[in-house]
Structure 1
Amino acid sequence: MVLASVARVTAETPTFETETTRLRLRRPTEVDRGFHATVHSDPRLFAHAPHVLGTPASNAAFFDAILDHWSTHGFGYWVAENRETGMPLGWVGVQRRGEHLNLYYRFVTEAHGRGLAREAARAAVALATEWAPEHRVQALVKDHNAASVRTAESAGLVRTGEQVVLSDDQPDEPPSSVFEAPSVDRVELLDAVTRLDLLDLWTRVNDAGGAVGFLPGAPAESVAAAIGTHEEQMAAGNAVGGALRLPDGRLVGWAWWVRTPNPLLHHGRWLYRVMVDPDRQGRGFGRLLMAGMHRLAREDGVELLQLGVRSGSGASRFYAQCGYVEVGRIPGAIRVAAGDDRDDVTMARRVDGRPLRPHGGD
């Protein structure tokens, strides 16, 4: 199985090329100049802004800028190819624009309506969240371009309420709305406001049926006690929280990395209580939270990541997309209700994304 949205890594140096379920996203080379010109000269792809349709001169300058960005920063806009056939389908990725990373996506007409731009944009935003947290991802989109708005939102970006006038806007053209990705912030100590926000989030995730340690309807006091236990781990230096926050600071996701007491296992961490606001499901927030959690683990020098999931919850499929593989299963270990026993499934991955290799001994 090819892991979705996982950067290939050699030693400690990431190669920012990746594969999703249907696409290969690779660094462009000079041989892609013609495809770039074809895409950016197709009037069907510029129906919402025909005045920016590419010319031979502007296409050449744009393509040169893409190659220069890769040479300078080591990442940038990818060529999106069909994984099975190798056929190029579009351009997608992030590039530096001031203090932000600009999310860009443009696919050939024949690829529209299949969710490919969303799939590719999610990979781009997740990689940026994991590897470039100092620069938030932004997309500048005209509101009348409904398809582009949907792609930005489905990639995890949220409308900030800001609008900007672009340098190539026509005098009578409306400004572009600013969409921005959430951040994943390290939390080593809960303040009173964050504790209350987390309690509210966790309770709502419980009541929505999320597999985060309790059944729906669990009293807030029980959740608060669980938070207290994690706070004790944090105070002892054995846990760190990851808070997924919108650009306005609202808490919409949470998870913990926990170190076990055994010093033989201190190069690894266990992931606990991964939760996303149930009102914001389907927006790619879970993938962004995991990307940020991988960054936090890497910053702490962690090498091996482990987590447990309940069978039948659909979580295994999600974590597989984040690079995890099943390494163990205890059938019927979790009793959800009378007559409803689930398997306790253990999954793992390396921080650097390389394959897990067994020792091979007894």
Structure 2
Amino acid sequence: MKKAITLILVLTQLNAHAVINGQETSPNDVFSVKLNIKHQHWLNSVQEWDKYESTCSSVIVGTHPLTIITAGHCLKEIELDPNNQLPKITITDTNFDQLDSINISNAFYYPFSEIENNLALDVAILVFDKSLPKNVKSVSIDTNPNLGDVLVCGFGSASNEAVLFNPRCSVKKTLNNLDDFYAVMPKQYEQSDPMLHIKARAQFHYKQEIISSLDYLTAINRLDSKHQYSAAEPMPTHGDSGGPWLAKTADEGFLLVAITSYVERFYNKNDDWSFFAKEAPLDDYPYIAYGVKFNSPEVKSLIENAKANGADITLIDTTIR
């Protein structure tokens, strides 16, 4: 559960999209940085490594030393540097131009084999060997949030958005009942395409089967004020994993209440559903996004272990104030 990882701070900005239809936002205002991760998967059929890259979002929870949190599944099949056996990960699109490079001194996360059987474990904590200057902001974690509206941010990608160097964010209302499938896929769509609706329902219930308690998750949908699916509604997508879900405080600050975990998309398109654009890929059509909270015993243990080994993390329980 504890591993040493090296990250190189990339000072050149790369092209990036973000939360679909969200508002471009300064990364420092929402404590966000983007991760570029190199992976490899062994192909038995040809006896060689299949290498690929992915993008995830993350959130700064401490600056002395730099401590960030991202989704644990982002570390699946990480490619190791053959010289030092350290994962190949870079941070991009930051304002940390005071630093030439930065190394992780510790990483705390559960193996993907455990995460895929318990979604509550989908949290990774990365601790660096340097502190950041005072102008870089961090956010405290609310371990027992009373959820309502949240500001969801990330560096994901969508096919029809302008290229940006900053994350996009949007205020979203969290679902009150994670058992209600019709809160994400209304009955009207079941009538027009029963098979596609069944597939989406199976995917919905599968996520419920791989969580030790629904109390450890929150979620948002892509329904508009008329309870209809809308491609115009902002929503996390590919690359937003690990991005922050922020709740506003009474003094207009923020607390971190969750991070983007998994996003569910349609299996295929239906010509009768007018919101589908023929030229847009299915990655542009998520209908529910899950945020993993920090209130499970396993994640609390992960945080305490990280803090005991130098992580800069502040925990707040707003229910006992």
TM-score normalised by length of structure 1? 0.27
Structure exhibiting the larger radius of gyration computed from Cα positions: 1
Name the one with the larger helix percent.
1
